[in-house]
Amino acid sequence: MNRYNIIKNKNPREIVLLKGAPCKWGICSFCDYIDDNEKDIDICNNINLQVLSNITGITGQLEVINSGSVFELPSITFNKIYEIVEEKNINKIYFESHWLYRENLKKIHNIYNIPVIFKLGLETFDENFRNNILKKGIVFDTPTQISKYFQSICLLIGIEGQTKDMIKNDIDILLNNFPLGCINIFNENSTNIKRDIDLINWFKKEFAFLYNLKNIEILDHNTDFGVG
């Protein structure tokens, strides 16, 4: 498994995939990357410190992901990230978090004196599909409630049961309410969730313009950032 890369296309940044404690939510129906979670803190720290040693600060930006939320990283790892940000003159950092930690995000904003971008794996704005099919556990009334906490939204495209209207609505809300977005094309994994290839082909034609937008990243495979 590759855990360090430099993203060179849109929004260049170094990215690390770290190991954290089990995802506190942990029941999303399409997710098998929690298999990378680890209860043994020493194992997490040993791997993470080695991975973090690759960071050079070359792009000035760093993204940290961990198959869960940043709050599930051991404190030794979390403190090391902060040290590296200072040492390597990182001027922007990205973390992921589940919605359930939203009130804790400000603690991280308070620690860092650089912009911190929080990414939310929302997957879709469609309430029924998100919570009843994908089991995301994210309940809100308006996109503004989310943008108060999260600056980047991850959407999942191409799952059986998803519709063109849902996707059109998702892209519309993303583009009109959030500065950054990441669109993941669904690939089948060890879960029972199935891919809808016709819907994916339609999306790629219908929304071809998204590939040219600087603030929208589209991943055909979840290893396209070079980690995983």
Q: Residue 20 or residue 80: which is nearer to ligand SF4 going by CB?
A: 20
Applying the rule CB under 6 A, the residues between 81 and 110 that interact with ligand SF4 are: 98
Q: For the CB of residue 138, give the shortest distance to ligand SF4 in the complex, in Å.
A: 9
Q: For the CB of residue 17, give the shortest distance to ligand SF4 in the complex, in Å.
A: 12
Q: Residue 120 or residue 167: which is nearer to ligand SF4 going by CB?
A: 120
> What strands lie across the sheet with 13-17, from one edge to the other?
4-7, 13-17, 61-65, 92-96, 116-123, 152-157, 180-185, 216-219
- DSSP, collapsed to helix, strand or coil, labels residue 84 as helix
- Which distant-in-sequence residues (6+ apart) come within 8 Å of 147 by Cβ? 177, 178
Q: C-alpha angle with apex 140: 155 to 120, nearest 5 degrees? A: 35
What DSSP element (H or E) covers 30? none
Q: For the CB of residue 184, give the shortest distance to ligand SF4 in the complex, in Å.
A: 10
Q: Residue 5 or residue 66: which is nearer to ligand SF4 going by CB?
A: 66
Applying the rule CB under 6 A, the residues between 112 and 131 that interact with ligand SF4 are: 121
Residue 28 binds ligand SF4, judged by CB under 6 A: yes
User: For ligand SF4, which residue of 21, 25, 101, 217 counts as binding (CB under 6 A)?
Assistant: 25
Q: Residue 70 or residue 85: which is nearer to ligand SF4 going by CB?
A: 70
Residue 68 binds ligand SF4, judged by CB under 6 A: yes
User: For ligand SF4, which residue of 17, 23, 171, 200 counts as binding (CB under 6 A)?
Assistant: 23
User: For ligand SF4, which residue of 21, 31, 55, 218 counts as binding (CB under 6 A)?
Assistant: 31
Q: How many CA atoms lie within 13 A of 197 on its CB side?
A: 1
How many angstroms separate the CA atoms of 105 and 158, rounded?
30
Do 39 and 23 contact (CB within 8 A), yes or no?
no
How many angstroms separate the CA atoms of 128 and 92, rounded?
34
Residues in the chain: 228
Q: For the CB of residue 98, give the shortest distance to ligand SF4 in the complex, in Å.
A: 5
Nearest in space to 205 (alpha carbons), one of 162, 173, 157 = 157
Residues forming a β-bridge with 95: 64, 118
How many residues make contact with ligand SF4 (CB under 6 A)?
10
Q: Which stretch binds ligand SF4 (CB under 6 A): 18-26, 44-52, 53-61, 200-208?
A: 18-26
Residue 20 binds ligand SF4, judged by CB under 6 A: no
Please report, as ranges, the residues that interact with ligand SF4 according to CB under 6 A.
23, 25-26, 28, 31, 34, 67-68, 98, 121
